[in-house]
Amino acid sequence: AQSVTQLDSHVSVSEGTPVLLRCNYSSSYSPSLFWYVQHPNKGLQLLLKYTSAATLVKGINGFEAEFKKSETSFHLTKPSAHMSDAAEYFCVVSARGYGNKLVFGAGTILRVKS
């Protein structure tokens, strides 16, 4: 089976400081990994994805994530938080061996303080 663990349910940062949202995964097959963002009362938006190409993935709005196979991690980072980054973030794993079904982490709520 495959699974995702988001290590923090809530993260609070000050505007202008770095963001780190942690994600560990488990999969018996080579995984694809995604980060999605969900703003209040809005739909899910894809931030970035890893699909066996470059291990450092750049996404929208200045976010990036690094795939580390040895650590089974895919942490999401941003150098400088903006107020508009406040939202819930989901780390997601899928694999061809599991029919490309998405498995979502529990989510991390990011709060940005002014």
Q: Which is nearer to another protein, 43 or 114 (CB)?
A: 43
What six digits make up the tokens of 23? Answer: 């994600």
Q: Which is nearer to another protein, 15 or 98 (CB)?
A: 98
Give the integer Cα–Cα distance in Å for 76 and 13.
14
What x-and-dash track marks residues 57-86 binding another protein by CB under 8 A?
------------------------------
Which SS3 state, helix, strand or coil, does residue 79 take?
coil
Using the rule CB under 8 A, give the single segment among 16-24, 57-65, 69-77, 89-97 that binds another protein. 89-97
What six digits make up the tokens of 6? Answer: 């988001």
Among 2, 49, 66, 86, which residue sits at the site for another protein (rule: CB under 8 A)? 49
- β-strand partners of 45: 37
Burial class (CB in 10 A: 0-12, 13-18, 19+), 98: middle
Residue ranges that bind another protein, judged by CB under 8 A:
32, 34, 42-44, 46, 49, 51-52, 90, 92, 94, 96, 99-107
